[in-house]
Amino acid sequence: MARIDHPGLARKVVPADAAAALIEPGDTVGMSGFTGAGYPKAVPEALARRISGAHAAGEPFRVNVWTGASTAPELDGVLAAADGVDLRLPYQSDPVTRAKINAGEMDYLDVHLSHVAQLAWEGFLGPLDVAVVEVSGITADGDLVPSSSVGNNKTWLDRADRVVLEVNSWQSPDLEGMHDIYYGTALPPDRLPIPLTRPADRIGTPYLRCAPEKIVAVVETAAPDRNSPLAVPDETSRRIAGHLVEFLEHEVERGRLPATLLPLQSGVGNVANAVLAGLGTSRFEGLSAYTEVIQDGMLDLLRSGTMSVASATAFALGPEAQEEFLRTAREYRDRIVLRPQEMSNHPELIRRLGVLAMNGMIEADIYGNVNSTHLMGSRIQNGIGGSGDFARNAYLSFFLSPSTAKGGAISSILPMVSHVDHTEHDVQVLVTEQGLADLRGLSPRRRARAVIASCAHPDYRPLLEDYLERADRGAYGRHTPHLLTEALSWHIRFLETGSMLPR
């Protein structure tokens, strides 16, 4: 019990099965976790076993699961496989969970990540029965040392009737002091300004707090976080990164950005990581980040000194970067700030700091509307996550994607997106390996010409040009010309033939 210094809480240590037995059918459970970091490792698996046993005995047993964002197979995967989840929110990336959602066997509420804590405090989502939260230690005073993600943990601990803690000794002890937990939020009309003006500002406490009497069980673990390894940047990702870095250099030369840029936000994934790698070989210095997650590329920027500070709510490190961080965490303690996601994704703070937001997309249409969540209009992939929090409020909003998918059978640039997450009003710059389209100040038809010329793959560019020309002649209105009888025909053609290209 080296990580549990509070005598009263040390006496509450139980096996994971005993802790899972405190969760009842129909309970709403708030679990820690944001990406594959800081999620409970033992209790969800024990709960899945309990649920499977209940189902085998013919007894219904499902729970509602709230988290910070996506988690890992030991949480989302096992509970979904046990058919134990009735409602999941606010974001997921697990293949078993995704299959259940798209089969209509699990309800899913896809929510802007900045909204979740507020919805919970409003009571709109109903009561929170249990919180299951991983921490990396408990002090003698009962303060909770947060783990490798913060997410919505502050809210879960505050709102839950019962709390189960997992104390994970695998996590670096040098995480202590890296967190900034702000307890100054309130609902209107009692809301006050948040005193944060720089990514490095620390405005709270390094610890989470929870009344000891609410904590009904403590489980000890020593299990690693699990994030998928990031691929080595390929030529497509490097070209996307090159276009974006060149654009930023141009904006600095024109005097529209400072030489140190503005705080960066980067979504999760290989393309985003390639952009960070591109910044590492650029001429930029003194960078900062105000983002959701710290990926391998951002850790590289901090290590090299290219980035001075990064504020986030979680890590999303591949296995090698994770091992390196465990060895050297103390070196980053003054340059990494981990906050609750209601702070990392706070729209007003994003606007105040002037964040440069870089997020991935599934598809964009010629007018700049972006779909980042659904395949062919109805099949959820992951969720909107924090991309909407940042895109709507950023100083500059970038959306990035290869121009094609499925070996060229799908175009990422289309006449009309099959689902809209980010409207043309929130999308300023589109980037593919083909080029970059700066949509600021352009009317819809001019945006369309820029997107087709700069971002579309050559195999699809003539088809898009033909569509725009005919739409401009035959649409009901010419402000945003569309041929409604064929605007979504590319998606239909793919579903029917396996390719968006005509045969």
Q: Name the β-bridge partners of 168.
A: 221
pLDDT score at 267: 87
Backbone angles phi, psi at 161, to 5 degrees: -75, -40
Tens of pLDDT, residues 70-92: 999 999 999 999 999 999 999 99
Residues (pLDDT < 50) of the chain are none
Provide the pairing of β-strand 374-375 with 413-414.
unpaired
pLDDT at residue number 1: 52
Asked if residue 73 has a cis previous peptide bond (ω within 30° of 0), the answer is no
Question: 10 Å Cβ neighbour count for 225?
Answer: 28
The answer to whether the CB of 360 falls within 8 A of the CB of 399 is yes
Dihedral sign, Cα of residue 243, residue 248, residue 249, residue 255: positive
pLDDT value of residue 428: 98
For domain 235-497, give the fold: Glutaconate Coenzyme A-transferase (3.40.1080)
Segments making up each domain of the chain, as ranges: 7-221, 235-497
Report how far residue 47's alpha carbon sits from residue 57's, in angstroms, rounded to the nearest whole number.
15
Q: What pLDDT was estimated at residue 468?
A: 98
Q: What is the DSSP string of 475-488?
A: SS-SSS---TTTTT
State how far the alpha carbon of 128 is from the alpha carbons of 37, 76, 78, 272, 443, in Å.
22, 18, 21, 34, 46
Q: State how far the Cα of 432 lies from the Cα of 434, in Å rounded to an integer.
A: 5
Please check whether the two domains, 7-221 and 235-497, share a CATH topology. yes
Residue from 292, 342, 363, 424 carrying the catalytic annotation: 292
Name 343's Cβ contacts closer than 8 Å, sequence gap at least 6: 180, 182, 194, 196, 313, 349
Question: CATH top-level class for 7-221?
Answer: alpha beta
pLDDT at res. 317: 93
Q: What confidence score (pLDDT) does residue 351 get?
A: 98
pLDDT, tens digit, 9 for 90 and up, residues 133-148: 999 999 999 999 999 9
* Residue carrying the six token digits 């006050």: 192
Residue that the structure tokens 């620390």 belong to: 202
Catalytic annotation present for 246: no
- For residue 150, what is the DSSP state? -
What is the residue whose two structure tokens read 């640039």? 413
Residue 6, pLDDT score: 97
- Interior CA angle at 322 toward 318 and 325, to 5°? 145
Look up residue 27 and give its amino acid. D
